[in-house]
Amino acid sequence: MIEENSGQSRNSNAKEPVKAGRRGAIAPSMRPSESRKTESVFRPCSICGSSSWDTDEIRGETSCSVCGYVAEENMIDLGAEWTNHSGGEDKSRVGAPTTLTLSDKGLSTEIRRSDLTSGAAKRHGMSGKALRDWRRRQRIDQRSKTRDSRSRNLSKAMQFIRDRGDLPPQIEQEAAGLYRHSVERGLVTGRSIRGVSAACVYVAAREARIPRRIEDVAEAFDMTSNVDLKELKRTIRLVSRFLGAHHITGPEEYFEKFHSDLGMKPEVLGRVREMWRLVKDDLSWQGKKPSGIAGVIIYKASQESDSPRTQSEVCKVSGISEVTLRGLLKILNQKLSVKQF
């Protein structure tokens, strides 16, 4: 009986920590990537028979700790990357990442206009008075974010870049970064926000090797008059000089775009590249418009194919006149005849 009582007491003492743990605070659950391992080898080593494995998370390899045999490599952890860049203990992430295309980089909250329409109010169960109150709060919220002139300037410029730039998201970020640098350098002072934002869009596209003519950018930003076009070209040179963006657009960057706009066959593009390889080192092309050179080479290649294009079609795409096209065609024929001999 004494042994049974002592056994019962030992069992009761062993259960006490479990009960105390249940009464205490709930322990936080582990993060997905912390609870799951990348090690996927559970069989013994095929070389030495050991079951002890080492996992190198940086190299993505699982190797035997006895003989060094690499059983798995190029492993990928598909879980969330719980990284805290501020140095604290909490590794959770909330909110969207920052973006340069918003004046406040997306760090502040926003009351969207799409949520304050009559249809959205009906979905959310808001009355007419509540809808008017929320619209008033939305206007106050927008005005509170653009109290100083710099914020108003960035808000207007970022809207121009987003709505009229027609750029991929990554290049859109580059254009927004160029505009912010322009504001810091004082290049916007005394110039229109529309003109500087258009210049930043053109420079960002040019640096990314995206074919974009100045006339196309001017048309997108409603700067089609001669005065506005001259001002845009002047601003582009200024932004390029101060921000160190000195990439020169070549004719080869327009080949694919013009070829696609004209709807030509794939083999024509190969002939275009072959012609440019023969004549690109000639100094006669210096000072000529790159889009015009690309247009005349595409016109020449189309005439040699079974799907020719007219001069007016090529000129409409490349942005040059038919007189200019015929003048460039004479130079091209002369250079190709020399190369053939």
CATH number of the domain enclosing 192:
1.10.472.10
Q: Are 258 and 309 in contact (CB under 8 A)?
A: no
Helices (H), 208-321: 214-220, 226-243, 255-261, 266-279, 290-303, 311-318
Helices (H), the chain: 2-23, 32-35, 118-124, 128-145, 149-164, 169-185, 193-207, 214-220, 226-243, 255-261, 266-279, 290-303, 311-318, 322-340
Nearest to 160 by CA among 203, 199, 197: 197
Domain range holding 119?
Answer: 113-145
Q: Are 148 and 166 in contact (CB under 8 A)?
A: no
Q: Among 75, 90, 123, which residue terminates a domain?
A: 75
Q: Among 198, 213, 243, which residue terminates a domain?
A: 243
Residue 69, pLDDT score: 87
CB atoms within 10 A of CB 51: 12
Clarify whether residues 119 and 155 are in a common domain: no
pLDDT tens for each residue of the chain, 341 residues long = 444 444 444 444 444 444 444 444 444 444 444 434 444 567 888 888 888 888 887 788 888 888 888 888 887 766 666 666 656 665 566 666 777 877 777 777 777 777 788 888 888 888 888 888 888 988 888 777 777 788 888 888 988 998 888 888 889 999 999 999 999 888 898 899 999 999 999 999 999 888 888 888 999 999 989 999 999 999 999 999 988 888 888 888 899 889 998 998 888 999 999 999 888 888 888 888 888 999 999 999 999 888 889 999 999 988 889 999 999 999 898 888 877 64
Clarify whether residues 201 and 270 are in a common domain: no
Residue 14, pLDDT score: 42
Residue 94 falls inside a structural domain:
no
Residue 233, pLDDT score: 92
Identify the residue whose tokens are 């121009």.
160
Residue 295, pLDDT score: 92
Identify the residue whose tokens are 């001069």.
311
Q: What's the CA gap between 329 and 334, in Å, rounded?
A: 9
Nearest to 207 by CA among 179, 235, 251, 175: 175
Q: List residues bridging with 56 in a β-sheet.
A: 61
Residue 20, pLDDT score: 42
**Domain total in the chain:** 4
Residue 21 falls inside a structural domain:
no
